[in-house]
Structure formats: structure tokens, C-alpha cells
Structure 1
């Protein structure tokens, strides 16, 4: 009586591996063509002088030196960091408050749809809508003038208010996504833990500070990293809402600075150097966030 031969497991593994490479190939090709190759090309181009025609000419560190001494880049960095420093903490705090309020009511799906609508709307459309609301004769300006008895504020024409307008629209546009993510995190908090704290006499504020926020800290950390990176890449809102860089470059961001150098002035080498500087700033801020997460992020064991 002959025994049956064991199945050829190696053949199955090889076939599964081929199918695995087949399914990840579209994403891998897209990553190679639209991310890795452009990144390498932009990095190399930052060391050259090129106006879009002919062959690039090697310039060494000249572009980087010029950018570090360019006051417009300094203004763009300050504006971008201000947008991130204002919109990220305020946006996340508002999202947590709204998600906690929605978590305790019925029929919250309709509210989620309302909050999430700006997220799936084109930022250009959002900017054009708020452009009409924030005009000197718009609803918001006229309402403020009527309530306080002053002249209507020029949100988009006053250098002191233009950046505030960008921050306000940014917070409004990103609120829905943060609310949905935080609401999902709240629903994963065991109700028994909150009930036990309530029985022990913990009020709403104590439960928020001692239970909800610590258990939401991994999600808060993740959203803060994503929000900071998104804020550092602010462009379309500035380009449409306040018409390019706004009055006196009050809303000039780093990405707009890169666009202005490359597509308005045809200085692609300098523009690429500025993009490398943006990458370095993003990496530094992200690394600092990861270094600080050990102090306030609590992971479940």
C-alpha cells in the first residue's frame, strides 16, 4: 500500500507570491511614476538652474542659499506655521467637543452628513463660497458691522485679517472629517468605564479629562500629525480665497511660494529647492511630534 505524497506547498507559495505582486503592481507603479521619480527629479533639480527650456545647468547650493536669504520664503514659512499652529489645535478641540455631543444623541447620522459635506466638496468651491461670505458687503461682514456698530471688516483685503480668514475656513472645512474619526473612537470606549466613573462621582469634565481624552490620545496624535502635514501644504484655499498671496503677502504659504517661483517666474531650480526645504520642515515637525507622543499618548496594553 503506497502512501499519498504530501502537497507541494512551495508551489502554492510561489503562486500566491506572484498573485500578490500582480495585485500590488498598479499601486507600486503609481507610487514609482507619480511619487518617487518626481521626488528624485525635484531634489536633483534643486541644485540646477532651469527655466523650463533647454538643459538644466548645475548651480550647486546657490538656489538653497538664495532661498534661505529670501524674505519672501521667510514670510511664507511664518504664515504657514501660523496657519498650522492655529488651525490644528482649535480644529481638533472643536472636533472632540462636537463628537462628544453627537455621541450622546439619536439620529446623529444626519448631523454627520452635514458636518462631512465640506470634506467631500472641492476646496475651490469651498473657497469661492466663503469668498462671497467674507467680502466687505458679504453676510458675515455686514452682520458684524450691524451688531457692533462699526464699519464692515475687509477680511480678504486687510493684511491683518486675511490670515485669520484662511484659518477660519480651514477649520470649518476640516471639522467634519475629524468629527467622524473622533466619533468612531468614542464608540470604542467601553460604556462600563464611563458608568463606573459616573457612579464614583466623576462629573462630565472629570470624565473628559481622565477617561475620554487619554483613551482618545492615539487618535488625537494621528489626527494632529495628518493635520499638521495638511496645513503645511496649504495652497488652493489661499490661491482662490484671497487671490494668490493676499494683500502684502499676508497669506503667502510655502506651497504658494513654490508655485510662484516655478510657474509664475519660471525658476524651476529655485522652486525645487524651496520644495526640498518644505520637505525638511515637514520631517522635522513630524519627528518632533513622534518624539513628544510618549508624554501624552496612552496605548492600551
Structure 2
């Protein structure tokens, strides 16, 4: 006896479920086929080195040596109890705060200017953004020539007005200032372009209505522009912080020995590949940096985002 569906006694829902199950399995296999290579590469080149670095941080290992001694958390204890820890952490905090704050503040000012109807603003936007896409090594070499106290372009300008050039490279405080200036200059265009996109997304009707109500330009900026730019500011804060804490190329080129510019990541490099060759101790510093990045990102996502106003 045939069923109403034309089959041999099989319920209609059973065939639909079978077809659905076959389709689900097929889609799952397609997903695995396309996602597996990417997942494998991420596991191989991101998470495997991360876990390996955790292991290396527990070793007393000289780079290139065939053997290593497991010392547990001794490398971490040594780092936080050493006299250099406060200097490295302080330099990292100063460098990060000034580069992030400076690039974001100046980027917003530049974005406000480029958002006006000016002649040649398209070319100006390209010029402002260009340093961000340049090689950090090339940028460092050019600015190192500019800041050179003997042969640099800045020293020539100062001598032409009867002034002596500061010892940018030799003075630790000036060396950090020099690197901060270059890093802000390089990342200024990125912040400006992102802020410009945020400004162009603000409805002009709001600004016109506020102007009709008698609000000044400054009041319109603080009460309308700044709150509506909070998602953009939040995005830039996270990306700029992560970028600054991992800044390496410009610091390496302009101050190879880390004279006053030893941030966490650069101190990790010096410990492993400088005159110390302490790979295990360097790995421990890298883990400290990773933990700091993780905590900072979590705090931002948990607390700062509460003040973000999405339209």
C-alpha cells in the first residue's frame, strides 16, 4: 500500500529530514574544507608559537645553546625584582600614552580641517595618510638623518640661527622624545582618516539644527560631534594602544642600543638578540607584554565601551 506521498509506507517528514540531514552534512563538509586550512595556519603560526613562548619563559636558556634548565617562574621574579623593570615599564607607559594621545588628538584636528570644503582636499588627505603606509625602517632612517646632531637637517637649521643642536641620540630623555615625535607623525594620518570617516557619517541636519538654536561652533563640537564620534574614538583607542605597545621598527632603527627607549617589546629583543643572549628571560618579558595587552583590551571592552554611543 502506497502512502499519500507516493512512497512505500515512509512518512513524508522522514524524507524531508533525510534530505535536510544530507544537506547539513554536505554544508558541514564544505565548511571544513574551506576553513580547515585557515584554522591550521592560525594554530601553526599563532597559537603554537604563543604556547612555545610560554614554555621558553620557564627556562634558563642562552640563545643558541643546545641545553636549557627549567627554572619555573624565576625569570618573572627576576624581571619584576630587577632595577630595570620600573624603567622599562615606565618607558613603555610614557611612550604608549604620548603616542596614542598625540596621534589621536592631532588626527582629530587634521580630520576637522580636511572635512571642510577646501580646494585640493583630496590631495591633502592622500598626503596626510601617506606616512602611515611607508616602511617603518625607511621612516626611521630618514628621521634619523633629520635629528642627527652633527650632520642632520635640523642641526643645520639650528646652526643657521646660531643655536646648537640637542644631542637627540645620546641623551636618553631626548632620544625617547625623538622616537615619540616620529611615531606620532607616522600614525597621525591613520587617525585622521578614521576620524574623517566618522565626521562624514554625522547627519548634517543635527549641526544645522544646533546652529539655528544658537549653539556656537565649540558647543556643537562638544555636545554633538564628540559624543557621535565615540565609536570611532573607541576603535582608534584599542587599535592605537595595541600598535604602540608593539612598536619596534622605528625604535630599533633610531636607537639600536635602547638608550632611554627600552619599551617592553624592545627590551625583550635586546635580551634575546643583544649582548645578553638570554632567550628564556626574553620570553618571560614577552609574556608580560602579552598579559598586559590582554588585560588592557579586556578592560577597554568591559568599561570604556559603556560610554560609547552608537547611533
| TM > 0.5 | yes
The count of residues paired between Structure 1 and Structure 2 equals 296
Q: Counterpart of 1:261? A: 271
* SS of equivalent to 2:229: helix
Q: How does 1:221-236 map to 2 (within 5 A)?
A: 221-236=234-249
In structure 1, the partner of 2:304 is 293
Q: Which residue of 2 aligns with 1:73?
A: 85
Partner of 1:47: 58
Task: Give 2:261's aligned residue.
Answer: 251
- Whether the 8 Å contact between 2:130 and 2:189 is mirrored in structure 1 is yes
The 8 Å contact of residues 73 and 254 in structure 1, kept in 2 or not, is answered as no
Q: Does 1:104 align with 2:116?
A: yes
- Please give the secondary structure, in 2, of the residue aligned with 1:118: helix
Q: Take 2:21 and 2:110, find their aligned partners in 1: how far apart are those partners?
A: 54
- Unpaired segments ≥5 residues, structure 1: none
Question: What TM-score comes out, normalization by structure 2 length?
Answer: 0.88
- Computing the radius of gyration over CA atoms, which structure comes out larger, 1 or 2? 2
Match of 1:26 among 28, 31, 37: 37
**After the TM superposition, which residues 185-224 of structure 1 pair with which residues of structure 2 at under 5 Å, given as runs?**
185-224=198-237
The structural deviation recorded for 1:295 is: 5.9
1:82 to 79, 94, 101: 94
Q: Name the CA distance, whole Å, in 1 between partners of 2:59 and 2:130.
A: 44
8 Å Cα contact 1:141-1:154 kept in structure 2: no
Deviates more, 1:267-276 or 1:44-53: 44-53
Deviation at 1:26, TM superposition (A): 3.3
**1:141 is aligned to 2:141:** no
Aligned to 1:150: 163
Match for residue 273 of structure 1 among 273, 284, 289 = 284
Deviation by residue 1:83-117 (Cα, 9 ceiling, x = unmatched): 11111111101111111111112543212221221
Q: Report 1:8-27 matches (<5 A).
A: 8-27=19-38
Unaligned stretches of 5+ residues in structure 2 = 7-11
Q: Is the 8 A contact 2:234 2:305 kept in 1?
A: no
Alpha-carbon separation, structure 1, partners of 2:272 and 2:256: 18
Task: Give the alignment partner of residue 190 of structure 2, picking from 148, 162, 177.
Answer: 177
Shift of 1:271: 1.0
- Contact 1:145–1:153 (8 Å) recurs in 2: no
- Aligned-pair distance for 1:2? 5.6
TM-score (norm 1): 0.90
Match of 1:283 among 290, 294, 298: 294
For 1:208, what is the secondary structure of its paired residue? helix
Shift of 1:297: 2.1
RMSD, matched Cα: 2.1
